[in-house]
Copies of this chain bind each other. A is one copy, B any other.
Amino acid sequence: MSVLVVGSVALDSVETPFGKADEVLGGSANYFAASASHQTAVQLVGVVGSDYPMDKLEPLRARGVDLAGLERAEGESFRWRGRYRHDLNSAETLETRLGVFSHFKPKIPTQFKSAEYVFLANIDPRLQIDVLSQVERPKLVACDTMNFWIESRRPDLLTLLGKVDLITLNDAEARQLTEQANLVQAARWILERGPKTVLIKKGEHGAFMFTKDSVFFAPAYPLESVFDPTGAGDSFAGGFMGWLARTGDLSEANMRRAVVVGSAMGSFVVEGFSIKRLLEVSREDIENRVQDFHQLVAFDRALGA
């Protein structure tokens, strides 16, 4: 089963302690699609300006990403310029030029409307809600969000929560949205407002999956060198949703496995600029990293004294 993603398609210019990249593929939809494409076919909905280097998207198309929903609008593409300091913990935004993205009005192509797995990447919650009115009856709808929408579109975001099955957000966003310092309480707050599953991403500190009855935790893979953290969250989401769409299995056990696939994809993407590593890794690399994750946390609970 394919997965539909609606999000940003951007050009990023990034500076890290290890190098610089100019005008490379960026945006949530690109990262998500490149990641999910290892598991299943991807349908992408987004917008680019007339200046977007469409040839750079060819590797995505070649990997089974259907770009029929990628609108080309008159004007400039969305550009983000950022810098990471030595600790790589948080991006410093140097410049954001929304361009045509500021008028983005997602239009889901007819052939995408029957999508069973839908990821509403981080865009205006009003648009995320609008997308849901265009699709038929997905098996799983997940959304992401960010501090900007939590502040400026709170009522819409709460409406959205009532319409999605799952939300991914980082720990700071979870605390901001719920006004709960404790993540367990934050997750419960969200679970009471609609989503059956809450994925809280903690960057280098791993990710939690909360449901009403269970908590699952996957660490971030302890990498020896993190090159560029951009896109880790969307790559995580892509691996997670891609795995679910590929397997069609929404059991707790399989969703745990999906979190680990997501974590594996997050650990790959930060090894290089843009989606470079996502295009390089093989399904075997992913499988090996999933096994590494198992080894990382495995302990013998029967071992006694």
Q: Which of A41-49, A132-140, A210-218 contacts B (4 or more CB under 8 A)?
A: A210-218
**A63 contacts B by Cβ under 8 Å:** no
| A286-305 Cβ-contact flags toward B at 8 Å (1 or 0) | 00001101111111110101
Partner among B202, B222, B305 whose Cβ is within 8 Å of the Cβ of A205: B202
Q: How far is the CA of A246 from the CA of B214 in the complex (A)?
A: 32
The answer to whether residues A297 and B216 also contact, given A86-B181, A222-B183, A257-B303 and a CB cut-off of 8 A, is: yes
**Cβ contact within 8 Å between A299 and B253:** yes
Query: Which listed segment binds B: A70-78, A98-106, A110-118, A223-231?
Result: A223-231
Nearest B residue to A215, CB-CB: B222
Which of B39, B182, B225 has a CB less than 8 Å from the CB of A182?
B225
* In-complex Cβ contact of A217 among B181, B219, B247, B301 (8 A): B219
Which B residues are CB-close (under 8 A) to A243? 305
Chain B contacts for A214, CB-based, 8 A: 295
Complex interface residues of chain A between 186 and 222 (CB less than 8 A to chain B): 202, 205-206, 208, 214-219, 222
A75 to chain B, nearest CB (A): 40
Residue A152 CB within 8 A of the other chain: no
Considering only CB atoms, which chain B residue lies closest to A214 in the complex? B295
A246 and B185 contact, CB distance less than 8 A: no
**A260 an interface residue at 8 Å Cβ cutoff?**
yes
Quick one: closest B residue to A243, CB to CB?
A: B305
Contact A296 B182 (CB under 8 A): no
Chain B residue with minimal CB distance to A88? B181
Closest chain B residue, CB of each to CB of A300: B253
Known: A39-B305, A254-B303. 10 other contacts (CB 8 A): A182-B224, A182-B226, A184-B224, A202-B205, A206-B206, A206-B219, A217-B297, A218-B299, A257-B303, A290-B301
A-B pairs with lowest CB-CB distance, top 5: A256-B299, A205-B205, A297-B297, A294-B301, A247-B305
Q: Give residues in A with beta carbon < 8 Å to B.
A: 39, 86-88, 181-185, 202, 205-206, 208, 214-219, 222-226, 243, 246-247, 253-254, 256-257, 259-260, 290-291, 293-301, 303, 305
A-B contact pairs, 11 of them (CB 8 A): A86-B181, A87-B181, A182-B223, A183-B222, A185-B224, A206-B219, A215-B296, A253-B299, A256-B298, A256-B299, A256-B300
